[in-house]
Structure 1
Amino acid sequence: MTRDAGTYVFTLYVAGATERSDAARSNLRRLCASRLVDGYEVTVIDVVDRPELAEEHRILATPTVIRIAPLPQRRVIGDLSDERRAALALGLPDSAELSEERGGDD
């Protein structure tokens, strides 16, 4: 698969089918859909099923999301329920930048 340079790539680490895991998954997808005009990819890894990946990527708590691209990588631990804080921590464009990219009025 070829990625567009503007595509954001995330890996979300969760532990089982819990409310917190489901919330993190939903919140990340909602955050991406509302802020990323050039597209995004989300891979979800359940550390219960794949503990070796958790160890390899030094996942100490779940849920944890890692922004893989664009570089530099960024990590956020938690369910991402505070959209503004999560967007800032993941380095996502803010609403003003989005409006400009979409050709909106100031």
Structure 2
Amino acid sequence: MLSLKLYVTGLTPSSQQLIQQLRTLLTHYYADDYTLAVLDIFEHPQEAYDDVIYATPTLVKILPLPVTQIIGNLSDRERVLAGLQIKHLQPIHFS
């Protein structure tokens, strides 16, 4: 099970587009075997502080260990896969 947190600054149209892109990418590799918690830093400042979030957007991989962060532009698919250390996975093909 892959567990992620995405920190954003407000649920703006660009944040919503990013969330959809990430869900599409994750579903492509994990089907429904992942969780993605979306946290607005204005609504969850303590959690952002605890996770040492300095900029948004920031994607935090909680599980599997090690915990990793990808900060900034998350539109580059290869960068996201490499940052999450899941680049070796094969896409899931739905029939």
Is TM (by shorter chain) over 0.5? yes
Structure 2: distance between partners of 1:34 and 1:67: 17
Q: Which amino acid aligns with 2:57?
A: P
State the shift of 1:79 in Å.
4.2
- What's the RMSD between the two structures over aligned residues? 2.0
Higher Rg: 1
CA contact (8 A) 2:78 2:87 kept: no
- Alignment counterpart, residue 42 of structure 1, candidates 36, 39, 43: 36
Measure the CA separation in 2 of the matches of 1:50 and 1:41. Answer: 18
Count of residue correspondences: 93
Task: Please give the alpha-carbon distance, in whole angstroms, between the structure 2 residues aligned to 1:18 and 1:38.
Answer: 25
**Partner of residue 75, structure 2:** 81
Q: Which runs of 5+ in 1 are unaligned?
A: 1-6
Sequence identity of aligned pairs in percent?
Answer: 33
Divergent runs of 4+, >6 A: none
Aligned match of 2:66:
72
Which residue of 81, 90, 93 corresponds with 1:98? 90
CA shift, 1:93, in A, is 3.8
Question: Does the aligned pair in 2 maintain the 1:24–1:78 contact within 8 Å?
Answer: no
**TM-score, normalisation: structure 1:** 0.76
Q: Equivalents in 2 of 1:93, 1:38: separation in Å?
A: 18
Query: Are 2:5 and 1:11 equivalent residues in the alignment?
Result: yes
Aligned with residue 15 of structure 2, among 21, 25, 34: 21
8 Å Cα contact 2:5/2:38 also seen in 1: yes
Deviation by residue 1:8-29 (Cα, 9 ceiling, x = unmatched): 0001111102233223212221
Classify the secondary structure of the residue corresponding to 2:78.
helix
Q: What's the CA shift for 1:69?
A: 0.4
The normalised TM-score by structure 2 is 0.83
